[in-house]
Copies of this chain bind each other. A is one copy, B any other.
Amino acid sequence: MVTKFFENKAPKEVEVLDTTLRDGAQARGINFDLQAKIRIALELDRVGVHFIEAGWPGSNPKDELFFREIKKYELTNSEIVAFTSTRRKGFKASSDPLLQKALDADTKWITVFGKSWDLHVRDVLKTTLEENLDMIYDTIRFFKENGRMVIFDAEHFFDGFKENKEYALQVLKTAEEAGADRIVLADTNGGSLPHEVYAIVREVGEHVKKPLGVHMHNDSGCAVANTLMGVLAGAQHVHVTVNGIGERTGNADLCVVVPDLELKMGVKALKNPEGLKMLRHLSKMVYDLAGLTPNPYQPYVGDNAFAHKAGVHVDAVLKNPRAYEHVPPESVGNERKLAISELSGAANLIGWAKRELGIVISKNDVALRRALKRIKELENKGYSFDNAFASALLILLEEMGLRGRPFKLEEWKVVSEGAEEGSRSWGVVKLSNAEVHMEAAEGVGPVETIDKALRKALDKLAPEASHVKLIDYRVHLPKASKHTESDVRVEITFTDGKEFWTTTAVSRNIIEASVRAILDGIEYYLIKKKLMLLKGSNEEAPTLLRG
């Protein structure tokens, strides 16, 4: 680690507190049900975080239920933590019903958040700076007297420090005197920058003896960096959420902070030495339970984190993975992906043939060369095979003499019309194999209409494809659009309930492009089924086709 110009105060090991179930659940549009919360907690325990901050008892009934329910499970690595505020102004801690609820959660550890920015004390709490200190002191004392370990979460600490350093430090000292076991500096508005965090944590370290922690939000795009800089300045305790979910722009992402600490800074962060390899799975699971689409660009665990598109990169990574990979993808449970694109070459197609069809083909195979040449020509016409591997593989199969052409498109026709309001279409198609199948259909749009007619014809022609479903249909304009005369590229994703594949076609006529992509999708399914049956008959020789 290069640390010239810096003093490296990083500890050998930090504690990780995951607050996905508390701060993460405060994100817009996120609502975990009880069972989801339990599943996430169990997975976090398996991965090996030290603390799971799981909810605010009294804020909603689900949180209280969680604290009861989780007791039925025996956790290996993690302490469950209840979150609560300081006592209400004017109340005694012992008679504040919210604090009682936090006790009732019956956890060994409790997080107490208090205000450390004078602006918040004055404008939001609307009380005196003195009373705020009393609220913090009383609340922590109350929990300590009831035998709890207390994490004090100093809200808006960095803003407070910048505007009224003396008061912000006084808040921390009050918490420490009251017996807090951890002092956490929160960048609640997320506006801090990494160098400020380093400087402030260093300075606080000169005043506070108890272990310091940092809790970072991402409003400046620096939540991860700020957490790392906090550790470099001596913080021993970090707050994170899975995938960085949280208020506004979110929190520091566990899936990024932890590998940065362990793989790059040599700071142990997880209690389970195998935990790092479970991060991709943890990430996917939380996206899934939160009902969010995974971010493919997420560092370490995203689908694209180790995906290489440009030809130069693909080539180099095959020569030496370190050439374009900062860590081995397996270290965080991810894998390398090589994509086809106008910039790249053979490696991708070879990989797809292997993965999707079990066909092993050499880099110098003439059929592969011819297929690549055709793919390149199509790309120049506006095709893109980044997602549409099924269309690329059909070309390869054709060049290998393995594309049986189970049917042929003879003719199609659509009429579409409208008036001041609304519109309707009717269409007809003619497909053939041994015999000719002609079918008609009607609908609103021209594409759905021709699709319906095609499916009717295919049902007769290839009944085994009847359970193939079209699950995604997209339209792109691949080239310079010149009035409405531009080529359109249609991309369609299919499933048979088990696997997924995508096809693509380009035409100046959207109906024609759609017809071709639909037929390719069905043809790919029929051919793949046939190949797999062939393979099945000789399982020891997946390479038989080109071996």
| A379, closest chain B residue (CB) | B60
A232 within 8 A of partner (CB): yes
Mark each residue of chain A from 299 to 327: 1 if its CB lies under 8 Å from any CB of chain B, else 0: 11010111111100101100110111111
- Which residues of the partner chain B approach A473 to less than 8 Å between Cβ atoms? 477, 481, 483-484, 486
Q: How far is the CA of A258 from the CA of B203 in the complex (A)?
A: 28
- Listed stretches A178-186, A415-423, A532-540; interface member: A415-423
A409 and B300 CA atoms in complex are apart in Å by 51
- Could you tell me the distance between the alpha carbons of A26 and B344 in the complex, rounded to whole angstroms? 11
Residue A275, interface by CB 8 Å: no
Check A34 for interface membership: any CB of B closer than 8 A.
yes
Contacts of A253 in B (CB 8 A): 221
Contact (A123, B323) CB under 8 Å given A199-B6, A418-B511: yes
The answer to whether A461 has its CB under 8 Å from any CB of chain B is no
User: Please, which residues of chain B bring their CB within 8 A of the CB of A28?
Assistant: 296, 304, 307, 309, 337, 339, 341, 386
| Interface 1/0 per residue, A202-215 and B, CB below 8 Å | 11000000000000
Residues of B within 8 A of A484 (CB): 445, 447-448, 451, 470, 473, 514, 518
Question: Is A378 close to B, CB under 8 A?
Answer: no
CB pair A386 B31 closer than 8 Å: yes
Mark out the residues of chain A between 1 and 40 whose CB falls within 8 Å of any chain B CB in the assembled complex.
Answer: 1-7, 26-29, 31, 33-35
Chain B residue with Cβ nearest A295: B295
Which residue on B lies nearest to A232, using beta carbons?
B195
Besides A410-B420, A475-B477, 12 new A-B residue pairs in contact (Cβ under 8 A), listed by A number: A28-B304, A29-B386, A222-B260, A249-B302, A409-B420, A416-B509, A416-B511, A418-B515, A470-B483, A472-B481, A473-B483, A473-B486
Q: Is there a chain B Cβ closer than 8 Å to A169's Cβ?
A: no
Q: Which chain B residue lies CB-closest to A5?
A: B199
Q: Which residues of B contact A306 (CB under 8 A)?
A: 248
Residues in B whose Cβ lies below 8 Å from that of A4: 199, 202-203
A386 to chain B: closest residue by CB: B29
List, in ascending order, chain B residues with CB within 8 A of A124's CB.
Answer: 315-316, 319-320, 323
Q: How far apart sit A327 and B33, CA to CA, in the bound complex (Å)?
A: 33
Q: Mark A231-254, 1 if CB is under 8 A from B, else 0.
A: 010000000000011011110010
Q: Is A61 an interface residue (CB 8 A)?
A: yes
A416 to B446, CA, bound (A): 9
Are A33 and B247 in contact (CB-based, < 8 A)?
no
Whole-angstrom distance between the alpha carbons of A448 and B307 in the complex? Answer: 37
Specify how many copies of this chain sit in the oligomer.
Answer: 2
Q: Which of A406-464 contact B (CB under 8 A)?
A: 408-420, 422-425, 443-448, 451
A100 beta carbon closer than 8 Å to chain B: no
A80 in the interface (beta carbon within 8 A): no
A5-B199, A416-B511, A485-B445 in contact; A59/B189 too (CB < 8 A)?
Answer: no
* Interchain CB contact under 8 A, B326 and A508: no
In the complex, A232→B335 CA distance in Å?
A: 35
**Residues in chain B near residue A424, CB distance under 8 A:** 509
The answer for the CA separation of A193 and B8 in the assembled complex, in Å, is: 13
CB–CB A248/B307 < 8 A: yes
- Could you tell me if A244 and B297 are in contact, using CB atoms closer than 8 angstroms? yes
A196 sits at the interface (CB 8 A) = yes
Complex interface: chain B residues within 8 A of A379 (CB): 60
Closest Cβ of chain B to A7, distance in Å, is 7
Most buried by B among A65, A248, A417: A248
Given contacts A225-B225, A509-B423, contact A451 B202 (CB under 8 A): no
Binary per-residue interface labels of chain A (370-405) against chain B in the complex, 1 for a CB within 8 Å, 0 otherwise: 000000000110101011000000000000000000
Q: Are B199 and A3 in contact (CB under 8 A)?
A: yes
Q: Is the CB of B248 within 8 A of A308?
A: yes
Chain B residues lying within 8 Å of A325, measured Cβ to Cβ, are 189
**A103 part of interface (Cβ distance < 8 Å):** no
Chain B residues, CB < 8 A from A477: 33, 35, 473-475
Interchain residue pairs with CB less than 8 A apart (17): A1-B193, A3-B195, A28-B309, A28-B386, A61-B380, A124-B323, A189-B325, A220-B224, A221-B224, A221-B300, A247-B313, A247-B324, A414-B416, A415-B416, A418-B511, A473-B483, A473-B484
Given A225-B222, A307-B28, the answer on whether A480 and B35 have CB atoms closer than 8 Å is yes
